[in-house]
Amino acid sequence: KLRKRDMSETEIQKRLDTYMPFLKSLNQEQKISYAREQAHIALASILYSANALNIASCTIGGFDKEKLDSYLSLDIQKERSSLVVALGCCNDEKNPQKNRFSFDEVVKFI
């Protein structure tokens, strides 16, 4: 993918020499964890862009990753799901009532 950018071969090699030792030092699970961290960075860009276009968004982190991976027919040796984001328009007329704990029930100063 670096070759698709407008970079000299020297710059491409410099980047590879910088990042490849780091990536090679990671085991498979560490690589997946690192990729998930990178996905969160990309997610921030998606959410900010959606907001700039007046598109509502909802990040969903609590989902059955194994079921989604299976549904999407992902090769889990190469890729796995980490986040889901719903994008669309809000229905301001039908916002459900939020039931939240009070501040004092959640926070304890030590």
> For the segment 73-108, what is each residue's pLDDT rounded down to a tens digit?
999 888 889 999 999 998 777 777 778 899 999 999
Mean of per-residue pLDDT scores for the chain: 89
* CB-based contact 29:60 (threshold 8 Å): no
Question: Would you say residue 109 lies in a domain?
Answer: no
Strand pairing report for 84-88 and 56-60: antiparallel
- At residue 59's C-alpha, the angle toward residues 1 and 72, to 5°, is 60
d(CA 22, CA 18): 8
Residue 5 has pLDDT above 80, yes or no: no
Give me the pLDDT at residue 59, please: 93
pTM, two decimals, is: 0.63
Give me the pLDDT at residue 68, please: 96
Question: Would you say residue 12 lies in a domain?
Answer: yes
Question: Would you say residue 22 lies in a domain?
Answer: yes
Dihedrals φ, ψ of 44, to 5°? -60, -40
Give me the pLDDT at residue 2, please: 66
Question: Would you say residue 102 lies in a domain?
Answer: no
Report the domain count for the chain: 1
Give the percent of the chain with pLDDT over 70. Answer: 97
* CB-based contact 87:57 (threshold 8 Å): yes
Residue 1 has pLDDT above 70, yes or no: no
- Domain residue limits at 21: 2-90
* CB-based contact 87:60 (threshold 8 Å): no
Task: Look up the CATH number of the domain holding residue 45.
Answer: 3.40.109.10
Question: Would you say residue 95 lies in a domain?
Answer: no
Give the percent of the chain with pLDDT over 90. Answer: 60
